[in-house]
Amino acid sequence: MKLDPASDPEVRRSGIGASDAAKIVGLSRFGDAIGLYMEKIGMTAPLVETGPMRWGKILEEPIAREYGAQTGRRVWRKPDTIRHPDTPFIYCHLDRLAKGKGEPTRVLEVKTAGVYGASEFGEPGTDQVPADYLLQVQHQLGVTGHTVGDLAVLIGGQKFVIFTIERDDRLIDDLFMAEARFWTDYVVPRIPPPMDGSAGASDYLAAKFRDEGITIEAPESLQSLAWEYRAALEMEKSATTSKAEIGNRIRSAMGDANIAVGGDVKITYREIKTTRTDWQGVVKASTIPPEVIAEYTAITSSQRLSVTVKEPA
């Protein structure tokens, strides 16, 4: 069966797609630049479809039909990979295209959102949408040459809203410049982006380097990083202490109340009950043979960074 180009690993590794744009500039809720770099050079396994992704695909067609019914525009699919005429490693896939009588053709991006995601969207008809969706549509407009795009969103399975995003050439130029730098400076020469505090950076380092039991002489640059790390730990400790103190002062000021509302502030304090099963205790109390327990026991490992510095005498 032929893969959907949008999810085909070979196509995704051939350049920068619209859903990659926000990751490159650090504005994505779904990934980061180093994680994207790993995907582009084949360091990660193909993307596994999640529940929200699956339901997004299932609902794409009815959402697109509802968009056409509400706007009166003709809606059609364009499943091909569309590449920028001057920069072919910049590409996009479109959910749909739409056109009304006497109107220019527009890009149509279809989304689903949970009920708790409603607050991320502004007034219908505006471009007040999450940054990664805004950049996704601007990327699509830049590749296709169209001047406007609509975002049709089904929120919580029952609220249907449409947002309109006008082409912003200055934003597109800046975005494509960042994408071109990412591709030519990092992906093509196989040089990772600078390490940061992202999950992608941690994943990259865990995949790239292993504990080989080797001791090296720490150069001054590495010693300097150790001191920076120590300072960051002290700042984190101080911030944690301050947060706990302020939290206790808030709790004290609320007294017996569990909700406080005033001005632009809403504070809640509730008891949250969780259930935890002591499976080790269950196993000890059971008559399960040791060999059966061993069969279902997996040994995992993780890497832990420890930095020690000597205070000046």
Task: Average pLDDT across each block of 10 residues of the chain; the chain has 313 residues. List them in order.
Answer: 72 95 95 95 81 86 97 94 96 97 97 89 96 97 98 94 98 98 97 92 87 84 89 91 90 88 86 76 77 77 71 67
pLDDT at site 165 = 98
pLDDT at site 146 = 98
pLDDT at site 1 = 45
pLDDT at site 302 = 66
Distance, CA of 212 to CA of 1 (rounded, Å) = 43
Which H or E element spans position 10?
Answer: helix 9-12
Burial 142-161 (b: 16+ CB within 10 A, else e): bbbebebbbbbbbbeeeeeb
Q: Distances in Å between the alpha carbon of 274 and those of 29, 64, 271, 280?
A: 27, 41, 10, 18
Output the DSSP codes for 220-287: HHHHHHHHHHHHHHHHHHHHHHHHHHHHHHHHHHHTT-SEEEETTEEEE----------HHHHHHHS-
Range list of β-strands (E), 106-147: 106-113
pTM comes to: 0.77
pLDDT at site 169 = 97
